[in-house]
Amino acid sequence: MESETKSEIINATNRVLCEHGYAGLTMQKIADESAMTTAAIHYHFDTKEELLNAFLDILIERFKAKISSEATDPRKRLTAFLDGVFTPTTPDSDGFPVAIMELKAQAPFHDLFRERFLDLDEVMREVVADIVADGIDEGHFKQTDPDEVARLVTTTINGAHTRKVALGEPLDETRHVLENTLELHLGWQPGSEVVA
């Protein structure tokens, strides 16, 4: 559950990570960025690691909400999933890959971060595998291994985020390549119009 104060701390953390990286992240910088005192931040989070765990929890919750879809047609669900992953919804969320990358690079040194990334990865793979399996059952997609397609999709998304951060490449470049590859796997290209 996000209280307003926690949200403010979390958004400030996102901005500090995007501007200074993990190496430059301090409680003082988060305080400056959020117009709160470090004491107020410490009231909510004892340590930097605790704050960053909460940060990851909230980012992951927001992301799960973003990739879920009201649609029932697996083709529409797949397009909605890719929209959720590749389209930043707010100027703040455009920095999401940078903030996440900063913490992914810390995963070898922080087991709790790694657990969260494993959780996020599992969620993403399950969502995609479900969509693909349903699409095959309903005759929209070619026969293929849903788990393997899910692994390809999540790995490509990981790569897209890395390229955005390391190379400054827009996420859309990867989306286009992924959609063409999915067409080979599924016999249907995400984003094509679905006539109900």
- Which residues contact its own copies by CB under 8 A? 18, 20-24, 98, 101-102, 104-109, 114, 117-118, 121, 148, 151-152, 154-163, 165-168, 173-174, 177-178, 180-181, 184-185
21 vs 84, beta carbon nearer its own copies: 21
137 vs 148, beta carbon nearer its own copies: 148
Check: CB of residue 189 under 8 Å from CB of residue 182.
Answer: yes
Q: Which of 161, 186, 167, 152 is nearest to 74 (CA)?
A: 186
Contacts 24+ apart (CB under 8 A), 151-156: 151/125, 152/181, 152/185, 153/124, 153/125, 153/128, 153/178, 153/182, 154/121, 154/124, 154/125, 154/128, 156/181
* 176 CB-near residues (< 8 Å, 6+ apart): none
155 vs 192, beta carbon nearer its own copies: 155
CB of 24 to its own copies, least distance (A): 8
Q: What span, in angstroms and rounded, lies between the C-alpha atoms of 131 and 52?
A: 31
CB of 195 to its own copies, least distance (A): 26
Element (H, E) at 132: helix 111-137
Q: What span, in angstroms and rounded, lies between the C-alpha atoms of 18 and 24?
A: 10
22 vs 36, beta carbon nearer its own copies: 22
CB of 172 to its own copies, least distance (A): 12
CB of 71 to its own copies, least distance (A): 26
CB of 43 to its own copies, least distance (A): 25
5 vs 144, beta carbon nearer its own copies: 144
